[in-house]
Structure 1
Amino acid sequence: MPPPPAPAPPTVPPAAPGQPVGHLGVQVTTEDVALTPAYWNADSTVTTLRVTVTNTGTAPELVRLGYTLPAGLTDAGTPGCAAAGGGAYRCGEWATAPGARFSSTVQVRVSGTAWRAMPLSGSVEVTATAPGVSGSTADNEGFAVLFPPGPPVPGISLRADEVAFDIGGGPSTLAVRLTNTGAVDAAGRVEVVLPNGVTVPGLPAGCVGVTATRTRCDVGQVPAGRTADLRLPVSATPEAQRMAPLSGAVVGRLDPRSGRARQMQMSFKITAAAAGATPVATPVPTGSQGVLVAAGQGGDDSDGLTSVQRTAITLIAVSGLLVVLALALATTSLRRRMSGSTPDPTPTPTGTE
């Protein structure tokens, strides 16, 4: 986690008289809680969630951090953080300078039965305030809890690719591969469980909606040593994309004509480049909701243009002037060549009589 809080809460000195206090801005990015195959051999697993916080404003800020863990996950003793109920944890307050960035880790314990509830996702939230600046600014980002394929079962293999929504936010595709590694043919079935806000807009042949978040697909007979491929269209609401990364789950099942059925499951990651993408002059972070500037901190641009827009207009004007100047020089040079005197042709000598 961030450095342990000092005995007394840190403070940020106010700006000197007559000095602008600046504006607020903060951004948080997260990595996933990714479990290895060793998870299947343990009663519980302690792993880490890496968090990076950046002061994107122009004022010294006081930043608070909190995170919410899904069912089956608990904090494993992260310094400076305490439970706040409902799976939420709150950490201390830290002073950050403009542009400052720090990364830290949250210690997380994943129970040995958490996989039964997959897909699992959590979120991290940060808020920032500053003396002399009204209001506050905040940012949040989700993280996925990724389980490896399992529990390990002989005769079956399962693989699901990451789902990525591009900047336009349109539908994407989930690719699943169910492999029969056994010695006899078996009927294959795949169930896909999606988080809230992520749905299957059109069901392919052989697929049915079991619930609002669960889809079941029969992939037919899977011969021994062969693989069945399933491609499922998925879409996500802007709110779900704003909370990305999220996670979904896939359950694969093989039923041979004789012998016991074989089943395993795994989780997959869902990412989104942006939510409700609209062209803007100011770059917006794509890994999260981005910086939410406090009300009243939009700047004093009386002409309605941002500094980026004004800079772009200036560059365009300068480029235009350079083009005009180049044309003028070329025209002048051409006129000089055309108006200059040219020597008469040398007469050809003629023979004497």
Structure 2
Amino acid sequence: MQVTTGDVTLSEAYWNKASTAATLQVTVHNTGTTAQRVRLSYTLPAGLTDAGTKGCAAVGGGAYRCGAWSTEAGVRFSTVLRLRVAGTAWKEMPLSGSVQVIADAPGVPGEATDDQGFAVLFPPGPPVPGITLAADEVAFDISGSPSTLTLRLGNTGRVDAAGRVEVVLPAGVTVSAPPLGCVAVDPTRTRCDAGLMLAGTTAEVRLPVEATPQAQREAPLSGAVIGQLDPSSGPTRRVQMSFRITSAAALATPVVSPPAPTGSQGVLQAGGATGDGGLTSVERTAVILIAVSTLLVVLALTLATTSLRRRLGGPPPEPAPNPAD
């Protein structure tokens, strides 16, 4: 069983509302070889509540539980969770939630489980003139090696200002080696001085980040960055935004097997990888059957063509009589 999610992405309109309606796309895939009964649940971070998703009810602590569905082997289906984001939720960023599925099959012991996180992505704000802020997505490849977070702080005002950015990362994700001008405030927070920024210029900060295997399995996650400009005259300008953290490990295809506890995000278990490009047993069987069927069709066509040619050619000619006889 595998579950995948989208993200809760908010537009600039968020800053003008007391609360904002949002949706979260959830896709469930029965990757097993038998029909299963699936139960879905999800946990929302602070500032987010369910806005009336049909068939789901709150169970406390930001958690919600939905009804059960029956799904045949190989079937994939999607649903949409209806959410509401409070106008003050941005103060708690970075925000992430999670979705979990639990499945069981009649007569088969054990359960199949999978879960995936989702990020709540806020645009830069609250809007302040004279400052811009941008952050690129952080992506960890299948090896889990460290990645890079790139930030850009812009001084769009008319006065020079001292620039500073502060990065807040979720649990399990850290700045591995703060570069010159940056310092770790605590395990999840790093502060960098951008120096004096002339009016109309942009400073770029690149931070090496790493994530534990557990954090990578829980991706996508979100981090937050706070940008600040202190001009030589005038008030301090400050904005913040969130950015997405993804991992290839969280998207790995799970091994097809009878219902049993599985790794989060369908990560391949040790010894579970195959040498055929990651095909499941069902896919391998289908490929073999298609190949055999193709060979049989080719053989039948060959035999039919040979027979037809013989008929069209008629009997072989009789030998010509010898003139000497």
Q: TM-score, normalised by structure 1?
A: 0.73
Q: Tell me the residue number matched to 1:290.
A: 266
Q: TM-score, normalised by structure 2?
A: 0.79
1:86 and 2:65 matched: no
Match of 2:5 among 19, 30, 48: 30
Deviation track 1:192-249 (CA, whole Å, cap 9, x = no partner) reads 0000000011011111111111100001111111100000010000000000000000
Amino acid at match of 2:188: T
**What SS does the corresponding residue of 1:133 show, helix, strand or coil?**
coil
Deviation track 1:169-195 (CA, whole Å, cap 9, x = no partner) reads 010000000000100110000000000
Q: Once superposed, what is the RMSD of the aligned Cα atoms?
A: 2.5
Contact kept? 1:27, 1:291, Cα under 8 Å: no
1:45 and 2:31 matched: no
Q: Tell me the residue number matched to 2:298.
A: none
Q: Tell me the residue number matched to 2:223.
A: 248
Q: Tell me the residue number matched to 2:189.
A: 214
1:272 and 2:247 matched: yes
Amino acid at match of 2:169: L
**What SS does the corresponding residue of 2:14 show, helix, strand or coil?**
helix
Contact kept? 1:150, 1:266, Cα under 8 Å: yes
Structure 1: unaligned runs, 5 residues or longer: 1-25, 299-305, 315-353
User: C-alpha distance in 2, partners of 1:283/1:179?
Assistant: 49
Q: Tell me the residue number matched to 1:147.
A: 122
Q: What is the CA distance between 1:161 and its match in structure 2?
A: 0.3
Amino acid at match of 1:274: A
Deviation track 1:61-107 (CA, whole Å, cap 9, x = no partner) reads 11000000000000001010000111000000001111111111001
User: C-alpha distance in 2, partners of 1:55/1:291?
Assistant: 15
Q: 1:292 to 1:79 in 2, by over 3 A?
A: farther
Amino acid at match of 1:289: Q
Contact kept? 1:139, 1:292, Cα under 8 Å: no
What is the count of residue pairs matched by the alignment?
A: 270
Q: 1:132 to 1:292 in 2, by over 3 A?
A: farther
User: C-alpha distance in 2, partners of 1:185/1:224?
Assistant: 5
**What SS does the corresponding residue of 1:167 show, helix, strand or coil?**
coil
Q: Tell me the residue number matched to 2:91.
A: 116
User: C-alpha distance in 2, partners of 1:53/1:282?
Assistant: 15
User: C-alpha distance in 1, partners of 2:56/2:199?
Assistant: 51
1:260 and 2:235 matched: yes
Deviation track 1:275-307 (CA, whole Å, cap 9, x = no partner) reads 7x9xx99599xxx621799xxxx9xxxxxxx95
User: C-alpha distance in 2, partners of 1:246/1:282?
Assistant: 24
User: C-alpha distance in 2, partners of 1:49/1:281?
Assistant: 23
Q: Tell me the residue number matched to 1:5.
A: none
Contact kept? 2:2, 2:254, Cα under 8 Å: no
Amino acid at match of 2:187: A
Q: What is the CA distance between 1:134 and its match in structure 2?
A: 1.0
User: C-alpha distance in 2, partners of 1:65/1:291?
Assistant: 19
User: C-alpha distance in 1, partners of 2:66/2:169?
Assistant: 30
Q: 1:161 to 1:85 in 2, by over 3 A?
A: same
Structure 2: unaligned runs, 5 residues or longer: 258-263, 273-279, 289-325
User: C-alpha distance in 2, partners of 1:94/1:289?
Assistant: 20
Match of 1:182 among 157, 168, 187: 157
**What SS does the corresponding residue of 1:79 show, helix, strand or coil?**
coil
Match of 1:71 among 39, 46, 52: 46
User: C-alpha distance in 2, partners of 1:281/1:138?
Assistant: 11
Taking every aligned residue pair, what percent have the same amino acid on both sides?
Answer: 70
Q: Tell me the residue number matched to 2:136.
A: 161
User: C-alpha distance in 2, partners of 1:76/1:93?
Assistant: 20
